[in-house]
Amino acid sequence: MSTTSTTEPSPVATAPSRRLAVDFRQYGILAALVIIIVLFEIFTGGRLLMPGNVNNLIQQNAYVLILAIGMVMVIIAGHIDLSVGSVVAMVGAVAGLAMGQWGLPWWLGCLLALLVGALVGAWQGFWVAYIGVPAFIVTLAGMLFFRGLTLVLLTGGTIGGLPAPFVAIGAGWLPGILGTIGRTDVLTMVLGLVACALLVFFQARARANRRRLDLPIEGAVSFWLKLVIAVLATLGVCWQLANYSGTPIVLVILAVLVLAYNFVLNRSVFGRHVYAMGGNLFAAVMSGVKTRRVNFALFVNIGMLAAVAGLVSTARAGSAVASAGQNYELDAIAAVFIGGAAVQGGVGTVTGAMIGGLVMGVLNMGLSILSVDAAWQMAIKGLVLLLAVAFDLINKRRGGR
Amino acid sequence: MTGNDAILRMQDIIKDFNGVRALDQVTLEVSRGEVHAICGENGAGKSTLMKVLSGVYPHGTYSGTIEFDGAEATFSDIKSSEAAGIVIIHQELALNPLQSIAENIFLGNERATRGVIDWDRTALEASVLLEKVGLQENPATRVFELGVGKQQLVEIAKAMAKDVSLLILDEPTAALNDEDSDHLLDLISGMRDHGITCILISHKLREVRRIADRVTVIRDGRTIETIDMSEPSATEGRIIKAMVGRELNNLFPVHETVIGEERFRVEDWTVHHPVDTGRVVVDHATFSVRAGEIVGFAGLMGAGRTELAMSVFGRLWGTNVSGHVFKDGVEISTSTVDEAVANGIAYVTEDRKRYGLNLIGSISSNISAVALAKFARWGVIDRNREYLTADEYRLSMNIKTPSISEVVGRLSGGNQQKVVLSKWLVSGPDVLILDEPTRGIDVGAKYEIYTLINELADQGKAIVFISSELPELIGMCDRIYTISEGAVTGDVPRAEVTPEHLMYLMTMGKEALR
C-alpha cells in the first residue's frame, strides 16, 4: 500500500531486526543476586559459599522455591494465595499421622499428602473460579481454616519418629553410588556435567532450529557467553555440594519442578492462557479462553505444590508440628515480586521467582553468618522487597509504559 | 428569543489534539434562561466543546474567548468553572451508589462546620432540592436503590446545590425509559423558573424539537448554524441537513462487489440490560449478510449496535437474550465465544485496548490468542510456527514494528488495530463483525484497513461493519442497516443511500415503527 501515513508514530524501523532484544529486567534481578552474593562473600570473609553453606542454602530454602513456583502462576493470573503456609502445616500433619501413627509406608503417606493438597486446591479453586469470591478472601479464609484443622489433627502434640526414607527427602542426599575421589562425591559431579551437556545441547538445537526457519536469533557472543556462565555456575555449585555430602534429594525434586513449570508457562496452551488472563481478562474472555477452568486448575496446582513443600519441610524438621509453615506464604509472595512479577498480573517467570527466592535465602544466610539479630534480618528483608519492587516500577516508567 | 442577553459567548474556539483539529473556530452563544440544544454527529466536537467550556481543557490549551455572565472566563479546571456556576452532567452518572441521596448531593460540597458534617442541615436542604426536581424519595435512601431515571434527577439536584446558573446535560435521556425521559424533559424546560440556563446535547431530534428554544449544529468541529426553533423553517429535516451535509471525498478504495448467497442471518434478536433487566436494549432486531457483502450498521451513540454485536457473539453482553442465528441457512448456537468461533464468526471489538488486546503481551502472542489450538499439539505450543505465522501477518497487514516480539502497548493505534484484525483472521472466520474498526487511527492506516476489508469481502467473507462515521459507512458498504433505540429502523441499499435519509432513520426512534 502506497498511502502509508507519515504521521504514524511508528517505532524506529519498519524492517524487524534479526536479533532478539535482551530482557534487561530479568537480568537486573540476576545481577542483584550476584551483587548480594559477592558482597556477603566479602563481608563474611568467604564463609558464605563454603560447601556446607551452599548445601544449607538449598535445603533451607527449598520450600520457598517450591511454593514460589505455584505462587508465580497464581500471581501472573492476577490472584494471590495466602493459605500456602497453613496448607504446608496441614499436609505435614496428615503425612505425620499417616506415617507415624497409622503406620502407612512412607511413599503412601506422601501420595496421601499430595491428594490432600489437591483437594485443598480444588476447594479454594471452586470458590475463586466458580463462585467468584476474590482469591484474597478465599485464601485468607483458607489460611485460618487449614491452620485450625492442623491444630485439630495434632491435638496429641508433635509427631516425631518419621521413617528414615521420608526424612531423607528434606534432609538427605543421593547415595554416593559412584564413590568418591578424595573427598569429592563423583555422582554429584557427573550429574552436574550431564545437566550442563543437556543445557548446551537443547539451547544450541533450539538456536539452530530458529536459524533454519530464518527466525531472529540472539547474537552468537551473548548466547555463548550466557551458556558458559550458566555452565560455570552449575559446576561451581556441584563442586561445593560434592565436597560436602553430595546432591541433596530436594535439589533433584526442585530441578524437576523448575524445568517442568518453565515448560508449562512458556510452551503450553495452559501457560499462555494464564498470561493472557493476567494481561487483559476481558480480551482473554473474548478470545475464548475458559477462564474458570484455568483459575480452578491454578489453585489445584498450587495446592499440590504446597503439599510438596509441606512434605519437604516436614521431612527436614523430622517431625510434624502445628506451628509449621508460619509466614511461608509471605516468603513465597516476596520471592515472586522480587523476581519481577507485576502486582496487576500478566508478568512473571518461574526463573525470576527462583532468583527472587535465592535473593531472600542468601540474605538470610549471609546475615545469620554475620550474626545479625533475627529482628533486624526481618526488617532488612522487608526493605529489600520494597526497594526491589520500587526499582522495577521506576525502571518500567522510564522505559515508557 | 434573541441573543441580546447572552449568558455565554464562546468565540472562535480552536482546539487541536496532536495536530488534529477537533474544534475549528467554533462560536456558540447562549441566551439567559433558554434551553439551547447542541446537535451533531458522533465525533463532531460537541463533547470537546463542552470540555473546553467546563475547564477540563484549561484556559491556554485552546484559543478563542469565552465570555460567561458578562466577564471573560479563564477556567483552569472543573472546580473553577463550577465556582462560576457551570455544571456538566455527563452521560455516565458520577454518583457513588453506596452512599445516600443526600450524601451524593453534597459530595465535595458538604454542609459542614469546621469539618464536622451537620446531618440535619444536609437532610433538610436535600429534601428541598429533591422537591425542586420532583423526586419523591427519602434523602437517606442509598442511590443504588434508585432507577437510572431517578439517579439522573439526583445529579440535577446535586448541580442545583452548587448554585448552578448554566447546566449542561450530555445525552441525559440516553439510558432512560419513555416515562422517565418525559419527566426529565419537563424538568429541563422548567429550569428557567429557577434561574437556570440549560445546554442540552442530544441525538434525539424529537426531544430537541420539544424543549429547545434554539439549536446550534456542529459538524466536523465547526459551527454550521444556530436555528431558532420558533421559526417555521426549523424542521427536523433542516437540522439533519446541517448535521450531515458534507461532501463525500474519495477517501475510500474503489471496490467491485461480487455478492453471493446468504451467509449469516440473525432473526428476532432481543436483549435486555444486564443490570437494569427490565430495559430492552436490542429490540427484535433482524438482519442478514451475504457472502462478499459489506453491510453497515449505522446508529447514534447508545443505539445498541455494540450491544447487539456482543450479545450475538458468545452472549458477552446482556441478559434474557432471545432470537435465532443462522449460518449458511442452518441455525447455529453462538452462546459461548467458543461456539461462535467454531462456527466461523469473529468479532473485532470496539475498544481494542480494553477488550481486544493484551497490551503487555507480545505481538505474536496476541495474534495467536484466538486460534492458539492451531499452533499446539497435546497442549504444547510450537512457538516457531506461531512466530512464523505472526510474521506473515506482520508483512501482509503491514504492521509497523521493529520486531514481532515487541509489546503491543508500544504500537500506534493503527498498528494495534491491525494486530486485533490479524488475531481474528488467524481463526479463519467466514463472518466478520467489525465494531468501529477505524476509531482513533490516522487517515493512512484507515485506508489500509478499508482496503483489507474489501479484500476480505472479495474472499467471500460476510462483513458486518459497525461505525459511527456515516461517510465511512456510505463509502464502504453495499447495504446499511440503521438502528435506533435498539430496533432496526431501516435497510438501505447502496444506490438509495443519502446521509439525510440515514440520519432520518437513525433518529426516528422505535415508536415510529409501530
Per-residue pLDDT band for B427 (boundaries 50, 70, 90) equals: very high
> Quick check: do B6-244 and B262-344+429-513 share a fold?
yes
Predicted pLDDT at A26: 62
Over residues A163-185, the pLDDT tens digits come to: 999 999 989 999 988 888 888 89
Cβ–Cβ gap B316/A5 under 8 Å? no
Name chain A contacts of B306, Cβ cutoff 8 Å: none
B21 to chain A, closest Cα gap in Å: 14
Paired sense of beta strands B116-117 and B112-113, if any: antiparallel
Domain boundaries, chain B: 6-244, 262-344+429-513, 359-427
Cβ atoms of residues A309 and A128 within 8 Å: no
Number of independent structural domains in chain A: 2
Over residues B391-414, the pLDDT tens digits come to: 999 999 888 888 888 899 888 888
The answer to whether residue A42 sits within a structural domain is no
CA nearest to B453, candidates B469, B476, B471: B476
B 146-205 residues inside an 8 A Cβ radius of A: none
The answer to whether residue A388 sits within a structural domain is yes
Q: Across residues A273-299, what is the average pLDDT?
A: 93
Please check the confidence at residue A398 and state whether its pLDDT lies above 70.
no
Name chain A contacts of B451, Cβ cutoff 8 Å: 1
Please check the confidence at residue B226 and state whether its pLDDT lies above 90.
yes
- Rounded to the nearest angstrom, the gap between the alpha carbon of residue B25 and the centroid of all alpha carbons in its chain is 24
CA nearest to B308, candidates B360, B277, B347: B347
Put simply, whether B442 touches A (Cβ < 8 Å) is: yes
Cβ–Cβ gap B398/A1 under 8 Å? yes
Distance separating alpha carbons of residues A65 and A25, to the nearest angstrom:
20
Name chain A contacts of B369, Cβ cutoff 8 Å: 272, 276, 283-284, 287, 289
The answer to whether residue A261 sits within a structural domain is no
Q: In terms of C-beta density within 10 A (0-12 exposed, 13-18 middle, 19 or more buried), how is residue B307 classed?
A: buried
Predicted pLDDT at A222: 87
Catalogue the long-range contacts made by A148-154 (C-beta closer than 8 Å, 24 or more residues apart).
Answer: A149/A90, A149/A93, A150/A86, A150/A89, A150/A90, A150/A92, A150/A93, A150/A322, A150/A324, A151/A322, A153/A90, A153/A93, A153/A94, A153/A97, A154/A93, A154/A96, A154/A320, A154/A321, A154/A322
A238 and A148, same domain (yes or no): no
The domain boundary, picked from A247, A277, A307, lies at A247
- Rounded to the nearest angstrom, the gap between the alpha carbon of residue B452 and the centroid of all alpha carbons in its chain is 25
A133 to chain B, closest Cα gap in Å: 19
Cβ–Cβ gap B347/A286 under 8 Å? yes
A 196-255 residues inside an 8 A Cβ radius of B: 209-210, 213, 215-216
Predicted pLDDT at A14: 38
A159 and A213, same domain (yes or no): no
Q: Across residues A39-64, what is the average pLDDT?
A: 92
Put simply, whether A2 touches B (Cβ < 8 Å) is: no
Please check the confidence at residue A274 and state whether its pLDDT lies above 90.
yes
Q: Which range among A30-44, A374-388, B215-229, B440-454 shows the weakest confidence by mean pLDDT?
A: B440-454
Name chain A contacts of B406, Cβ cutoff 8 Å: 11
What grid cell was written down for B232? Answer: 417555521
A274 and A126, same domain (yes or no): yes
Q: Nearest-5° angle of CA A40, CA A42, CA A45?
A: 105
What stretch of H or E contains A328?
helix A328-338
Please check the confidence at residue A208 and state whether its pLDDT lies above 80.
yes
A291 to chain B, closest Cα gap in Å: 12
The torsion region of residue B304 among left (phi > 0), alpha (psi -120 to 50) and beta comes to left
Predicted pLDDT at B244: 78
Put simply, whether A4 touches B (Cβ < 8 Å) is: yes
The answer to whether residue A273 sits within a structural domain is yes
What stretch of H or E contains B270?
strand B262-272
Over residues B466-476, the pLDDT tens digits come to: 998 888 899 89
Which of A58-62, A284-288, B193-197, B249-253 ranks highest by mean pLDDT?
A: A58-62
Q: Which residue of A has its CA nearest to B387?
A: A215
- Across chain A, mean pLDDT equals 89
The answer to whether residue A29 sits within a structural domain is no
What stretch of H or E contains B226?
strand B222-228
Cβ atoms of residues B418 and A302 within 8 Å: no
A276 to chain B, closest Cα gap in Å: 6
Cβ–Cβ gap B356/A286 under 8 Å? yes
> What length is written for chain B?
514
Name chain B contacts of A9, Cβ cutoff 8 Å: 412
A284 and A356, same domain (yes or no): yes
Q: Which residue of B has its CA nearest to A12?
A: B402
Q: In chain A, helix, strand, coil percent, each to 5? A: 70, 0, 25
Q: CATH second-level architecture of B262-344+429-513?
A: 3-Layer(aba) Sandwich (3.40)
Cβ atoms of residues A89 and A67 within 8 Å: no
Cβ–Cβ gap A283/B415 under 8 Å? no
Backbone angles phi, psi at B89, to 5 degrees: -110, 115
Q: Nearest-5° angle of CA B458, CA B464, CA B470?
A: 105
Predicted pLDDT at A18: 44
Question: What CATH number matches the domain at B6-244, 3.40.50.10470, 3.40.50.150, 3.40.50.300, 3.40.190.10?
Answer: 3.40.50.300
Q: Which range among A121-125, A395-399, B184-188 shows the weakest confidence by mean pLDDT?
A: A395-399
Cβ–Cβ gap A269/B383 under 8 Å? no
Predicted pLDDT at B9: 93
Per-residue pLDDT band for A15 (boundaries 50, 70, 90) equals: very low
Distance separating alpha carbons of residues B374 and B101, to the nearest angstrom:
54
Q: Nearest-5° angle of CA A152, CA A156, CA A159?
A: 105
A188 and A325, same domain (yes or no): no
DSSP sequence for B465-478: EE-S-HHHHHHH-S
The answer to whether residue A132 sits within a structural domain is yes
Per-residue pLDDT band for A25 (boundaries 50, 70, 90) equals: low
Higher pLDDT, A14 or A325: A325
Considering CB atoms only, which of B316, B398, B412 is closest to A9? B412
What grid cell was written down for B504? Answer: 432520518
B156 to chain A, closest Cα gap in Å: 34
Q: Which amino acid is at A119?
A: L
The answer to whether residue A362 sits within a structural domain is yes
**Structural domain for A79, as ranges:** 53-172+266-398
Distance separating alpha carbons of residues A91 and A81, to the nearest angstrom:
16
Paired sense of beta strands B6-17 and B20-31, if any: antiparallel
Please check the confidence at residue A310 and state whether its pLDDT lies above 70.
yes
B 289-318 residues inside an 8 A Cβ radius of A: 314, 316
Paired sense of beta strands B35-39 and B214-219, if any: parallel
Distance separating alpha carbons of residues B366 and A286, to the nearest angstrom:
12
Considering CB atoms only, which of A11, A215, A346 is closest to B387? A215
Put simply, whether A340 touches B (Cβ < 8 Å) is: no
Return the bridge partners of B63, or none.
B14
The percentage of chain B sitting over the pLDDT mark of 70, rounded to a whole number, equals 97
Distance separating alpha carbons of residues A5 and B448, to the nearest angstrom:
10
B80 to chain A, closest Cα gap in Å: 32
Residues 6 or more apart whose Cβ sits within 8 Å of residue B497: B474, B477, B480
Name chain B contacts of A5, Cβ cutoff 8 Å: 414, 442-445
Cβ–Cβ gap B442/A276 under 8 Å? no
Distance separating alpha carbons of residues B410 and B359, to the nearest angstrom:
8
Cβ atoms of residues B489 and B282 within 8 Å: no
* Crossing angle (nearest 10°) for helices A51-76 and A164-171: 90
> Which residue is it, cell 530482557?
A23
Cβ–Cβ gap B337/A285 under 8 Å? yes
A300 and A322, same domain (yes or no): yes
Name chain A contacts of B402, Cβ cutoff 8 Å: 11-13, 16-17
> Which residue is it, cell 491428594?
A115
Cβ atoms of residues A31 and A292 within 8 Å: no
The answer to whether residue A282 sits within a structural domain is yes
Predicted pLDDT at A220: 87
- Across chain B, mean pLDDT equals 88
Please check the confidence at residue B163 and state whether its pLDDT lies above 70.
yes
Over residues B353-367, the pLDDT tens digits come to: 888 899 999 999 999
A 286-325 residues inside an 8 A Cβ radius of B: 286-290
Cβ atoms of residues B237 and B500 within 8 Å: yes
A231 and A279, same domain (yes or no): no
B361 to chain A, closest Cα gap in Å: 7
Q: Which residue of B has its CA nearest to A1?
A: B448
Cβ–Cβ gap B358/A283 under 8 Å? yes
Distances (CA, A) of A50 to A41, A58, A366, B122: 9, 13, 12, 72
A202 and A313, same domain (yes or no): no
A242 and A276, same domain (yes or no): no
Please check the confidence at residue A3 and state whether its pLDDT lies above 60.
no
Does the ipTM exceed 0.85?
no
Name chain A contacts of B424, Cβ cutoff 8 Å: none
What grid cell was written down for B447? Answer: 485506508
Handedness of CA A101, A105, A107, A111 (dihedral sign): negative
Put simply, whether B455 touches A (Cβ < 8 Å) is: no
Q: Nearest-5° angle of CA A401, CA A70, CA A84?
A: 115
A160 and A295, same domain (yes or no): yes
A146 and A281, same domain (yes or no): yes
Distance separating alpha carbons of residues B391 and B367, to the nearest angstrom:
10
Q: Which residue of B has its CA nearest to A206?
A: B384
A373 and A323, same domain (yes or no): yes
> Which residue is it, cell 435497510?
B491
Q: Which range among A112-121, B25-34, B106-115, B505-514 shows the weakest confidence by mean pLDDT?
A: B505-514
Name chain A contacts of B379, Cβ cutoff 8 Å: 268-270
Other C-beta atoms lying within 10 Å of the C-beta of residue A372: 15
Over residues B82-105, the pLDDT tens digits come to: 889 999 988 777 888 888 999 999
